[in-house]
Structures are given as C-alpha cells and as structure tokens.
C-alpha cells in the first residue's frame, strides 16, 4: 500500500457514529486536514534500463526527459573498479533529478566474497565501493528505501542485486533459498534465508531487482524459465505498482499483471497472479524516440487500475548482445507530501 493510501485509510471517518449536535457547533481544531499534508497523486516519469554492459554512450545520446532514472544492474561488462568509475561518471552528467542504481552479476568488484575468490584484491573491492559515492548517483544496497523528490512526491522502493546461481558470477544464491519472504511463506522444499533487508515489505510501491520473477519476461530462448519462484511469490504477496528488472536478454518487454483474490489456491506454489498478454513494442519506433512505452490503450488501463503491477524487463542488450533495445519510460501516479513535521505528526 502506498503512503498516500495508508494515510488516507487512517483518516477515514466512522460514518456509523452519529455526530453530536453540540460538538458540531464547536470550533474546529487547528490541526490540518489530510488534504493539507497529502496532495493529490502526481505523475512521475521513470526511465528504466538494465544490462547496458558498457554500452551507455549510445543510450545517453538521446535520454528522454524524466524525473527518475532506474538502472537495474549490469552497467559494466567486466565489473572492474575502472569500468564502474567510467559508467557512473558518464551517468552523473545527465540531467535527471534522481538516478538510482543497483549492482548486477557483472559488477564483480562490488561482491567482496566473489571478487576475492576470483583473484581480486581487498584494495580493489574498497576502491569499487568508494566509487558508489559518485556525485549525482544514488547507489542502493539490497533493502527498502523511501525517497522524496523536490516536488514532494514520495515513493518506497525495494531493490536487490541477487539472482539464482547460474555458472559463476557475482551476487548469486542457491535456487532452493528463499530470501524475499517470511518463513511462513516459504514452501516445504526450500530454505528460508530472509533478513530484515531482503524480505520485500507489503507497503512497497516499486520493486527493482536485477533478475526477473518466474514466468514473466524470463525466457532465455531455450524454452526454459530463468525467473525466480520465490521472487514471484513475494510480488504476488506485496503487489507493487511497478517491478523492473533485466538479466535475461531475450526477455525484453513489458507485461501487466492483475490479481484474482477469488482464485482458489489448490497446491503449494500457486498464487493469485493473472498475467495479461505481453505488450507490443515497436522497436524501430522506440529507437527513433529514444525510449519504449506502453501503447496508449494499455497505459490508460494501467493508470485507471491501481491493483495492477507493471512488469518491465529493460535490458538494453539485444539478442546479439548489442545495445539496440530502448529504455522504458513509465509514468506512475505517486503521492505528494508537504514537509512541515508538525503537520505530519498531527495526522496521527
């Protein structure tokens, strides 16, 4: 649930209790109403990309106007401190109010245990970590973060760089481990390793992970599914407005998801997620514009149905590992807050 909806529910009057006649004549409290602290939702433009693999120069030539840039990881190819510096320096120069980055499995120098196992040094790891403080870039560690734009628009985002183990790479974990849910949500065959940081909370607005959830934009091209079952269970439980990711290069695209609470859960692993058809993308048109976006009809349906989640696989590298896919431009209606702390306290 978003901050706007949670505060709105907290202030809903009890219509079943009749108003006392004398109390209605009393002067109203000077405490502000909800509307004085929470304004109507404001449209915020998110530019989403992933797996740029050092191909950022081509993307940054025509960055569309946006409020927030989300990079879902694998912004480098070899993950060295030098590559990390080059990419973050380039992105720091573009004019976007908020630029949020997470690591991917290619950012090996940021994963200390893996980096050292591959011959990296402690000095190299520390150098890479210091680069995360590049001015103009907000690098997010796994966990939930609350962010506010200059306009007062507020959102809560959960991020994670971790993907299931496939070959040898950084930020990977065993597929039988569930890191995104509480233990009572973990199936009997799996091991729960969730922490305060790694469990996705119910009230999150956006989820940004490096890899996809199971059966959603996760086909690597060999007929298998590369997505994560435990992540899917967490998304079905929390129902964020947006879930963006990358990692699977052949999964580029967008897909809306609905939830059917009338659906009967018949066996372990079932959920109430209903997948709508994958959105059509005119790749040539998107390249000319510098971004992809939902078709008008789908955008309107998504905007008018607050119970839907928009899934976006924003890999920039195409099937030939060339930076030919366009980033996604997505508009979300988010609450806007005023910052007078006294007003916020009085809402309770």
Using DSSP, state whether 333 is helix, strand or coil: strand
DSSP 258-303: EE-TTS---STT---EEEEEEPP--HHHHHHHTSB---HHHHHHHH
Start-end of H helices in the chain = 3-10, 34-37, 56-60, 81-92, 112-117, 122-130, 229-238, 283-289, 296-304, 341-346
Domains defined along the chain, listed by start: 38-346 (3.60.21.10)
Q: Could you tell me the two tokens for 8?
A: 């709105």
User: In the prediction, which pLDDT does 167 show?
Assistant: 76
- pLDDT string in tens for the chain (348-residue length): 443 443 333 434 444 444 443 444 444 444 444 444 556 788 999 999 999 999 999 889 888 999 999 999 999 999 999 999 999 999 999 999 999 999 999 999 999 999 999 999 999 999 999 999 999 999 999 999 999 999 999 999 999 999 998 878 999 999 999 999 999 999 999 999 999 999 999 999 999 999 999 999 999 877 788 999 999 999 999 999 999 999 999 999 999 999 999 888 877 778 999 999 999 999 889 988 999 999 999 999 999 999 999 999 999 999 888 999 999 999 999 988 754 333 333 333
118/125 Cα distance (integer angstroms): 12
C-alpha dihedral, 213 to 218 to 311 to 58, nearest 10°? 130
Q: Are 290 and 63 in contact (CB under 8 A)?
A: yes
* Residues near 176 by beta carbon (within 8 Å), at least 6 away in sequence: 189, 190, 191
Are 324 and 287 in contact, with CB atoms under 8 Å apart?
yes
pTM of the model: 0.85
Euclidean distance between CA atoms 258 and 55, whole angstroms: 34
Rounded Cα distance between 136 and 60, Å, is 15
Query: Measured between alpha carbons, how far is 75 from 88 in angstroms, rounded to an integer?
Result: 9
Q: Which residues contact 94 (CB under 8 A, 6 or more apart)?
A: 60, 63, 69
> CA angle 328-331-337, nearest 5°?
135
């Amino acid at each position: 649930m978003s901050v706007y909806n949670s505060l709105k529910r907290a202030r809903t009057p009890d219509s079943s209790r009749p108003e006392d006649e004398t109390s209605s004549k009393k002067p109203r409290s000077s405490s502000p109403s909800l509307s004085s602290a929470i304004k109507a939702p404001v449209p915020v433009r998110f530019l989403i990309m992933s797996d740029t693999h050092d191909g950022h120069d081509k993307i940054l030539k025509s960055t569309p106007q946006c409020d927030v840039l989300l990079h879902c990881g694998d912004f480098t190819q070899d993950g060295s401190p030098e590559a990390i510096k080059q990419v973050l320096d380039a992105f720091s120069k573009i004019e976007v109010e908020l630029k949020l980055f997470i690591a991917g499995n290619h950012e090996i120098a940021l994963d200390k245990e893996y980096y050292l196992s591959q011959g990296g040094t402690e000095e190299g790891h520390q150098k890479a970590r210091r680069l995360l403080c590049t001015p103009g870039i907000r690098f997010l560690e796994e966990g939930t973060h609350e962010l506010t734009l200059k306009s007062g628009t507020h959102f809560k985002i959960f991020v994670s760089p971790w993907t299931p183990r496939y070959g040898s790479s950084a930020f990977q974990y065993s597929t039988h481990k569930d890191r995104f849910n509480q233990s009572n949500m973990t199936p009997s065959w799996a091991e729960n390793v969730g922490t305060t940081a790694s469990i996705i909370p119910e009230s999150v607005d956006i989820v940004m992970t490096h890899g996809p959830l199971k059966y959603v934009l996760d086909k690597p091209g060999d007929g298998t599914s590369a997505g994560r079952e435990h992540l899917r269970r967490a998304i079905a439980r929390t129902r964020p407005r947006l879930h963006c990711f990358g990692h699977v290069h052949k999964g580029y695209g967008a897909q809306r998801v609905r939830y059917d609470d009338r659906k009967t859960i018949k066996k372990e692993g079932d959920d109430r997620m209903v997948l709508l058809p994958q959105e059509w993308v005119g790749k040539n048109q998107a390249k000319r514009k510098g971004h992809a976006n939902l078709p008008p009809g789908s955008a309107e349906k998504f905007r008018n149905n607050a119970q839907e989640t928009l899934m976006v696989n924003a890999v920039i590298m195409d099937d030939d590992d060339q930076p030919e896919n366009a980033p996604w431009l997505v508009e979300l209606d988010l609450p806007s807050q005023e910052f007078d702390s006294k007003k916020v306290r009085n809402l309770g």
